[in-house]
Amino acid sequence: MTSDSSTAADLLEFYDDLTDKQTELLQWVADGNRPATALHLHPSQTNAHRAFRNLKANAAKRGFAPEYDMTHQVPDGYNVKGVSTYYNKEGKPTGQWVKSTADQAARDAAVQSAIEAVTSEIPRVAALPAPKETSNDLVNLYTLTDCHVGMLAWHKEGGEDWDLSIAEKTLVDSFAAMIAGAPSASVAIVNQLGDWMHYDSMQAVTPISGHSLDSDGRTAKMIETSIRVLRKIIDMALIKHDTVHCVMAEGNHDIVSSIWLRKLFKALYENEPRFTIDDSELPYYVYQHGQTMLAFHHGHLKKPDGMPLLFAAQFPVIWGQTVKRYAHCGHQHHVDEKEHSGMTVTQHPTLAARDAYAARGGWISERAATAITYHKSFGKVATNTVCPEMLEAA
């Protein structure tokens, strides 16, 4: 085992992006001094010792701790998960097995950087002409939840087929039917309520538990289809309504994808003054229309009966300014609606077919999507429900 001095010298070679103060601290220790005596570098001995300890710990996460015979560092974006070192009779290391895992913080930062790079280059959508006659009293809420674009379902298991092409046609046609049957409200809310995409990486697995999923095609095809469908939906809404507000909610299947979807469409429509998008970093979203409050959450983090208190606490000003309050969630793939103290919570169904997991689990629900019209003073005044069978009969 080496001394702090030699470790500090090694760390100087390991790091290539140190601040001047960190470099001076390591050089101080490499010259044979104790980090706790570096008062000229840090105002307190505790801070100097902690700074040196943190540098060692961060290097160890990357696989570099020579005092413990760890010298095989892992690439950027990864952390060491475990190290097994083999020693001979003389106690000398003869072999080493290094296991690594992705550094989630580094991956998130990389995703954010990629989003900013992509959205700075994409061509913006030109503004569309506004409709001539709409009602300022009304807002139409168009909800699509748990669409699972990229999922593969087989009719022999779940009763209906679902793949990328079927998803695109079903979602676009359903939205067109909802638009056609809805009143000419001034405002539209395109409420994409989460789990739009079936999976969240290059592998068809759930992002948290890593469960394998049935998927159709490549990740790139899933992304292309998602962008194309959402653009068609938003453009349809802009043709019918004066303003369009969009929710791209976080779901449990598309935690990261929901981020880049929000950033992408915010940039894509930045030249369209009639379009806005909720860019909240928290998975809770609200819209105030006069005395009517509309709240949104996918449902993976908070159950329906807990939403009224959460939204009252999270958005107290809007809660206090409204008398008609409605929360909308998905996640469970079936309809449920209950009036709680001060807020009605609606759980929406999905248009997607059942995959093998749902079919084998015996979960059965009607497939549908509903447009709901709200008045700025009177709350909910109309609904228009569309199901896939209607599209096939047309």
Which range of 41-45, 60-64, 231-235 scores highest in mean pLDDT? It is: 231-235
Measured CA to CA, the distance from residue 34 to residue 46 in angstroms comes to 12
Domains of the chain, first to last: 4-74 (no CATH), 134-393 (3.60.21.10)
Secondary-structure percent of the chain, ordered helix, strand, coil, rounded to 5: 40, 25, 35
199 CB burial (10 A radius; 0-12, 13-18, 19+): buried
Lowest mean pLDDT: which of 123-137, 159-173, 186-200? 123-137
Q: What count of residues does the chain have?
A: 394
Q: What pLDDT score was predicted for residue 1?
A: 43
Read off the pLDDT band of 7 (50, 70, 90).
confident
Whether residue 79 is predicted with pLDDT greater than 80 in this model: the reply is no
What is the rounded average pLDDT for all residues in the chain? 86
* CA–CA distance, 58 with 98 (Å, rounded to integer): 16
Q: What is the mean pLDDT of residues 367-372?
A: 97
What are the tokens at 161? 């087929």
Residue 39 in this model has a pLDDT that exceeds 90: no
Q: Residue 33 in contact with residue 14, Cβ under 8 Å?
A: no
In the prediction, which pLDDT does 347 show?
Answer: 97
348 and 329 in contact (C-beta within 8 Å)? yes
- Sheet holding 185-192: strands in order across? 275-277, 243-248, 185-192, 135-144, 369-375, 379-386
- Of the two residues 127 and 347, the one the predictor is more confident about is 347
